Amino acid sequence: MNNKYFKLAAFIAIITLMACNSDDSIQKLTEDKVTFEMTPGSDEFTYNYSVKIDIDTVKTPVSVVIYFGDGHQSNNISGSHEYIVLAGSYTAQCYVSAKNSKSEVIKKYKIIVFQNDNEKVFADNPSSLLFALTGGKNNITGKVWSIGDKTVVCNPQNRNQIWYDFNGPDPSMLNDFLTFTPNELEMSGKFYLNNNGDTFMSHYLKELFPTGRDAAGSFVTTDYQPSTDATWKITEENSKTYLTIYKGFISYAILPEDLEGTVYEVASYSTSSIILWYKNDPKWQFELVTDEKKINELTGGSEAENGKSWRLRPHNQGSGIIMTRTWTGEVWWTVNASAQGSAAAYDDILTFYADGRAKLENHGDSYLNEATAGLFSDGNPAGSFVTKQYKPSENATWSFARVNGINCLKLNKVFPMYAINIAVMEEGIYEIVEMSDNLLYIKIVAGTGEWDVTWNYYLVSE
């Protein structure tokens, strides 16, 4: 054979052999070649995981992704994972794919069931910022804060040197209420800003709110509507603690980007006061305050698991409910213990809990105003009446509010023994006239003009 042709044939044979070996080295990844295991680890919430692949992964590289079903994932083929979750069922998923083949992704599943909550899930540590901010993981309605006196612009090197005091020029910040609700799984939650219709803003936002007065400096606008999707989160960075609010801010917007989110360094905190420094410019200091004394007087405090119960004051101390003419104080009508039908109100018990819940126990009947008669077939549109059809809500809540500078008690889906109209059965805002450990005196105005009357409620603690 001609030597030239021999060399060519040999070369072709070698290339063919290499091609065959190369094809053989690419092993097809099939379901039977992948094993995914999740086995109990060192404690109830820790699981060991492993992925076994029955092919030569050197010749046929693979990629592995494990989704544990709790929001976390791993690219390792073995290890351990702690589930910081509530009791329930979680599906762990394993995805394996060969990088050098066209085989489909192999998927494997394991279901993990936990009978108990992991104690690490939002542990209620009374000394933590998380607890101070929200009132605890069971406080589903959140904790309400207002703006404190230490909200100022000051010298960051000497915070006793005040350059600007928010408490003087305009009350638009001082009537705001800020609510932080908890998230059971992490240090975050929902944020709600109740601006009572107006918001104090820096001149940097004047182009966004041209109707605001005094656009040359800080101004008040009634056009800003707080986001209903705002959230908060606590983070740690370089030994500092930060509170981030997404789609919101602490009552005063300094820069346009604050409308999308703001970051504050937490300078100090307690259950009644939190001091924050604006991260972009720490001369801006904000204080959140809440009246812990009032909460304790109304509810008995967080240690009172059964809340604090109130009832209408006994007849020997005066009528429990008195209707007066708003402008003159003239008494028009009283609900005392001897009035016909009033027994249905005097045996009611109204309970407030520190976590924001409220409960009315009406013992099967309620004494109601004729304005509510249309809701019940046994209602009497000619006068106050007793109904057995009203069932107190199981989702009633309470909160403190400040309206036009007046401290108020806001009740949702509950009322103090006697509903004066349909509206207050859903929401009523009562001025707090007097509140102590033993007496709760609140009042609400209803009607207009000649029929503008004030309903005064006197409740005593159980």
Give the fold, CATH level 3, of 31-114: Immunoglobulin-like (2.60.40)
pLDDT in tens, 172-192: 787 788 889 887 666 678 999
Provide the pLDDT for residue 147. 87
The answer to whether the beta carbons of residues 461 and 333 sit under 8 Å apart is no
Domain ranges of the chain: 31-114, 129-290, 294-461
Q: Report which of 353, 420, 358, 423 is spatially closest to residue 392, judged by C-alpha positions.
A: 358
DSSP H or E stretch at residue 134: helix 129-134
Provide the pLDDT for residue 184. 63
Provide the pLDDT for residue 216. 61
Q: Report which of 119, 40, 108 is spatially closest to residue 80, judged by C-alpha positions.
A: 40
Q: Do domains 31-114 and 294-461 have the same CATH topology?
A: no
Confidence category of residue 170, pLDDT binned at 50, 70, 90? low
Name the one residue in this structure whose structure tokens are 């209602």. Answer: 379
DSSP state of 204: G
pLDDT in tens, 247-278: 999 999 999 999 999 999 999 998 888 999 99
Decide: helix, strand or coil at residue 34: strand
Task: For residue 177, give both structure tokens.
Answer: 């209420």
**95-99, 281-285, 364-368: segment of lowest average pLDDT:** 95-99
DSSP H or E stretch at residue 298: helix 292-299
For 335-342, which contacts have Cβ atoms below 8 Å and span 24 or more sequence positions? 335/367, 335/384, 335/418, 337/312, 341/367, 341/384, 341/385, 341/386, 342/367
The whole-model pTM stands at 0.49
DSSP H or E stretch at residue 6: helix 3-25
* DSSP-derived secondary structure for 390-410: ----SS-EEEEEEETTEEEEE
User: How far apart are the C-alpha atoms of 246 and 260, rounded to whole Å?
Assistant: 6
pLDDT in tens, 337-380: 888 889 999 999 999 998 788 999 999 999 999 999 999 999 99
Which residues have CB under 8 Å from 24's CB, separation 6+?
Answer: none
Say which residue, 424 or 24, is predicted with more confidence.
424
pLDDT in tens, 316-343: 899 999 999 988 889 989 998 888 889 9
Q: Report which of 174, 193, 183, 168 is spatially closest to residue 250, judged by C-alpha positions.
A: 193
Average pLDDT over residues 270-288: 93
Give the fold, CATH level 3, of 294-461: Lipocalin (2.40.128)
Beta bridge partners of 199: 221
Over 60: is that where the pLDDT of 392 sits?
yes
- Largest Cα–Cα separation, the chain: 131
User: How far apart are the C-alpha atoms of 397 and 381, rounded to whole Å?
Assistant: 28
Q: What percent of the chain has pLDDT over 70?
A: 88
Distance of CA 433 to the CA centre of its chain: 29
